Amino acid sequence: MAQITFLSLLFLTFNAIAIAKTTPLSSSSTTTNINKTYNNFIKTSCNNTTYPTVCLTSLLPYSTVVKLNRLRLVKKALSVTLKYASATQSTISNLAKAKNISKGNAAVLKDCIEDIQDSIGEIKDSLNAISSLKSSKNKKFVISNAQTWTSAAITDEYSCTDGISDEDVSPAVKKKIRNGILRVARMSSNALYLLNHLKY
């Protein structure tokens, strides 16, 4: 009897160890499959945007936050654009403060900073509108306002690039501004596309 009990305990112990080893693998496999589903949702959503590669690189890191929710996707697209626009503004502001910058370059940078500040304000307005969508009684009106503000932001962003193209700006300064602003404008364009296709 004692021998049977001992063998039974031994069997149960090995069985428990086997379960403990296989359970994490099963859980890990499930998590991987879920993450693939979330990633595919981002990829599919980005495929038809104006700038798919920019869309993918900026939003794919947030796939587990967005999940399969289109409203979250739009909000994340706007918030990531806002973050990048703020960083670009800081870069341009630092360029404007450089000791060796010419008066002409400084003037162009000042105008560009004003454009990007307006753009940041408009993206914030759009994000605030979309954030209130669920509780709004007139959802079409809210989405329309968000579309208008995002479109205005794009106009302001391209005003900056047009300004540096028209003026005699040094190539180094022009390159730094243009790369940053074009990235923001493309992210804004993608956010607008996602807004335009938000069904609510």
What secondary structure, in 3-state letters, does 29-40 show?
Answer: HHHHHHHHHHHH
What is the pTM assigned to this prediction?
0.82
- Crossing angle of helices 103-131 and 171-196, in 10° steps, is 20
| pLDDT surpasses 70 at 21 | no
For residue 67, what are its two tokens? Answer: 């999940």
Is the model more confident about 106 or about 166?
106
CA–CA distance, 105 with 95 (Å, rounded to integer): 9
CB atoms within 10 A of CB 99: 4
| pLDDT surpasses 60 at 1 | no
Burial letters 30-68, b for 16+ CB under 10 A, else e: eeeeeeeebeebbeebbeebebeebbbebbeebbeebee
User: What average pLDDT does the chain have?
Assistant: 86
Q: Which residues make Cβ contacts (< 8 Å) with residue 154, sequence separation at least 6?
A: 119, 185, 188, 189, 192
CA–CA distance, 108 with 167 (Å, rounded to integer): 7
Q: What is the pLDDT of residues 70-126, one digit of tens each?
A: 999 999 999 999 999 999 999 999 988 888 888 878 888 899 999 999 999 999 999
